[in-house]
């Protein structure tokens, strides 16, 4: 059950991150004060990919709630980052972000750390 929940968390998180980033990049940069966050909430209501992103996030969150109830926090949080390297690759392929050597190497080192943490 732990691994099933973890798989759902990873898949839903990856989908949510990509949809969020894609939609947010199409807008003007958002202010992060009270008004900025209020405008952000209005924007979410108008942007379909953001709504879909939040739906994926909800699936991820409820699965994570069930996961963290039985698994240790020091396992559940790092293990849920199994989607990390997949998301970085998709950021390059789908979002056309530039992932240089240093950033790719850093991502791989972080991933190695996450693997050790999860053992």
Distance CA 25, CA 78 (A): 27
Are 56 and 21 within 8 A, CB to CB?
A: no
Task: Mark residues 26-45: x for contact with another protein by CB under 8 A, - for none.
Answer: xxxxxxx---xx--xx----
| Residue 111, number of CB atoms within 10 A of its CB | 15
- How many residues interact with another protein (rule CB under 8 A)? 62
69 makes contact with another protein (CB under 8 A): yes
116 makes contact with another protein (CB under 8 A): yes
Residues lying near another protein in the complex (CB under 8 A) are found at: 17-18, 20-21, 24-32, 36-37, 40-41, 50, 57, 61-62, 64-66, 68-69, 72-78, 81, 84, 87-88, 91-92, 95-100, 102-103, 105-119
């Amino acid at each position: 059950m732990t691994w099933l929940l973890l798989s759902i968390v990873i898949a839903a998180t990856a989908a949510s991150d990509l949809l969020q980033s894609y939609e947010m990049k199409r807008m003007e940069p958002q202010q992060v004060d009270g008004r900025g966050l209020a405008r952000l909430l209005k924007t979410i209501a108008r942007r379909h990919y953001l709504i879909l992103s939040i739906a994926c996030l909800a699936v991820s969150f409820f699965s994570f709630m069930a996961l963290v109830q039985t698994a240790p926090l020091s396992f559940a949080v790092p293990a849920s980052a199994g989607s990390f390297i997949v998301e970085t690759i998709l950021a390059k392929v789908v979002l056309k972000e530039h992932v240089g050597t240093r950033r790719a190497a850093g991502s791989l080192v972080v991933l190695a750390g996450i693997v050790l943490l999860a053992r």
